[in-house]
Copies of this chain bind each other. A is one copy, B any other.
Amino acid sequence: MSSEIYSYLYEKLFELGALDVYTQSIYMKKNRPAIKLSVICEKEHLDKVIESILKETTTFGIRYNTFKRKVLERKHTKIETKYGNVSIKCAYYKDKLLKYAPEYEECKRIAKEFNIPLKKVYEDINSTFQFLIEKEKVHETTKTVKKID
């Protein structure tokens, strides 16, 4: 299968409700390198996802199974930084802030606008957010947050 198809397929599968899509290189009989496509989706989107993979790829079959998931509660917040407001994805475990990540598309826009490395944008924003946490200016529990918003 032309590898050009993947970018399009990823896009399509996310539109159909996929929660995650990834590929892995595998090796089959007769020295055939191949790509294993994995899609995670809710049951309600399964039929559409299967139909799309069958139609868009060269595969002759699909295997699937039910998995349990443990997912952190997520919340988006906005903070002020020297580059302007930036969205941060926050994740909570047992109601406490456990990890966070600035939004990629916004950081990318900043890197281009300010003409600085994307890596530096991440470092600066993470550092600002870390400072807010220490000053207790970020609500570290999902509960408090819910009250305010």
Contact: A60 with B32, CB < 8 Å? no
In the complex, what residues of B have CB within 8 A of residue A122's CB?
Answer: 2, 5
Q: Contact check: which of B2, B7, B64, B123 meets A31 at CB < 8 Å?
A: B7
Instruction: Give this chain's copy count.
Output: 6
Contact: B101 with A74, CB < 8 Å? no
When A5-B118, A60-B74, A123-B126 are in contact, do A28 and B22 touch as well, CB less than 8 Å? yes
In the complex, what residues of B have CB within 8 A of residue A21's CB?
Answer: 28-29
Contact: A31 with B40, CB < 8 Å? no
Counting chain A residues whose Cβ lies within 8 A of the other chain, the interface size class is 35 or more
Does A145 sit within 8 A of B, measured CB to CB?
no
Taken together as a complex, chains A and B put the C-alpha atoms of A36 and B20 apart, in Å, by 13
Taken together as a complex, chains A and B put the C-alpha atoms of A140 and B135 apart, in Å, by 27
Which A residues contact B (CB, under 8 angstroms)? 1-10, 14, 20-36, 38, 40, 50-51, 54-58, 60-72, 74, 89, 91, 93, 98-99, 101, 104, 107-108, 111, 117-120, 122-124, 126-127, 130-131, 134
